[in-house]
Amino acid sequence: MNKSWIAAAALALAACSPAPAPAPAVAPQDAFFTSLSALCGRSYEGRVVTNDERDADMAGQQLVMHVRDCSADEIRIPFNVGEDRSRTWVITRTESGLRLKHDHRHEDGSEDVLTQYGGDTTSEGTSERQEFPADDFSKQLFTANEIPASADNIWAVEVHPGETFAYELRRPNRHFRVEFDLTQEVPTPMASSGQLPNEH
């Protein structure tokens, strides 16, 4: 049998074979949550990269984030500013996207007056950046505490795997951004009584 004929027949059969089905696309928010979950249990040092004078005190202190408590639907990230361990970022899955909340507590675990503010995503975002406009609860909280300008807050969280984690706040005439180096882990800071695990 002619070898060229055999080769041609093999090529023809290969052409008729169904192509393998493409892998299902991963939704941007699922990819983002997966990247963030991969950091669980690790701590990183950051620095303020914006230049607002209102952030000068924070910029002069050690900034450490610790991806501390992770479940399938919630990730808690304490953000320590020097010795101040009152802040925790909480990212949660919702039926329509992702939610960011700021859990601020005193050393005894009681909630600060300004706490649980944040918002939900209003678009699918990207696998590396998600934005959270202030929700109605936050707007009412800010107004009640005489900081109405914060009602226009849009927070963002970025995860660039193996490179950078970033937290950002924007509103008219205000821009704050802190970036954490994911290439270098640091010792995990001691948790305060105010940094509650996700089962509470």
Element (H, E) at 101: strand 98-104
User: What one-character-per-residue DSSP string does 96-119 give?
Assistant: SSEEEEEEEB-TTSPBPSS-SEEE
What pLDDT tens digit does each residue of the chain (200 aa) get?
455 555 555 555 555 555 565 656 889 999 999 999 999 999 999 999 999 999 999 999 999 999 999 999 999 999 999 999 999 999 999 999 999 999 999 988 899 999 999 999 999 999 999 999 999 999 999 999 999 999 999 999 999 999 999 999 999 999 999 999 999 999 988 775 455 443 32
The top-level CATH class assigned to 26-185 is: mainly beta
Number of alpha helices (DSSP H) and beta strands (DSSP E) in the chain: 4, 11
For the chain, give every domain's residue range: 26-185
HSE-CB at 1 with a 13 A cutoff on CA atoms is 6
pLDDT of the residue at 20 = 62
Q: From the centroid of its chain, how far is CA 163?
A: 14
Question: In the numeric block, which tokens belong to residue 19?
Answer: 């192509």
In DSSP terms, 185 is beta-bridged to: 44
